[in-house]
Amino acid sequence: MLGISPRKDSVTPLSLQPKFTDRVFAAMFEPLVPRWIKPNHLTKARFVFGPLAALAFAAGRYGLSCILFTLAALTDWIDGALARTRTQTSTWGMLYEPIADKLLVISALVALAWQGVGTVLGLALCGIEAIAAIGIWRWHRAGKIEGANVWGKIKFTLEACGAGLLLLGTYAASSPLRIAGNMTLAAAIVFALISVYHKIR
């Protein structure tokens, strides 16, 4: 898929430190996930659900779009927690997991901008994410693959929450939700720039 053969389940020393959310996941949800489901499967699902959510929104199916976007965003938490709790971090996942995140966010923000929602902030974030995706690919070509830094994780969380609030605000015709979404996207831009700075310094 996407031109690179996955190196499944190859353990790397990065991103293996357990987090509090990982312990919650391990205690409550990990036993419910069949052993045949790998973190990379969920990353690939995000490549599908993101564009589908955007297409549903563009078609005026706002409720369906909210559901698909929420499911796609949840796979980001689940695949990371699953990789760490089952020690299944892979080189393929470290490369394509952040690209799947960017596709999810860009798809949603472009669909929102198409409908005139969060246009300026959304397109600014799309530009930043597109540049970051090119950077990730160039680093891969140079043999440099590393996990997302904490600023990037915060940035993605804010992007997902902001886009989700705008999608929900459009579905519910709620101005407060749309305002909250725009404010969250503005905060995401700040953390996106911080993340890029820490990557290139």
Number of domains in the chain: 1
CATH number, domain of 76, equals: 1.20.120.1760
Residue 11 within any structural domain of the chain: no
Residue 46 lies in a domain: yes
d(CA 52, CA 46): 10
Average pLDDT, the chain: 83
Residue 32 lies in a domain: yes
Tell me the pLDDT tens digit for each residue of 118-128. Answer: 889 999 998 88
pTM for this prediction: 0.80
Which residues neighbour 12 within 8 Å (Cβ) at sequence distance 6 or greater? 89, 90, 91, 94
**Is 162 a member of any domain?**
yes
Does 5 fall in a domain?
Answer: no
Please tell me the predicted confidence (pLDDT) of residue 7: 40
**Which residue range(s) make up the domain with 120?**
20-200
The token pair that represents 2 in the structure block: 């996407």
- Over the stretch 43-92, which tens digit does the pLDDT of each residue have? 999 999 999 999 999 999 999 999 999 999 999 889 888 888 888 888 78
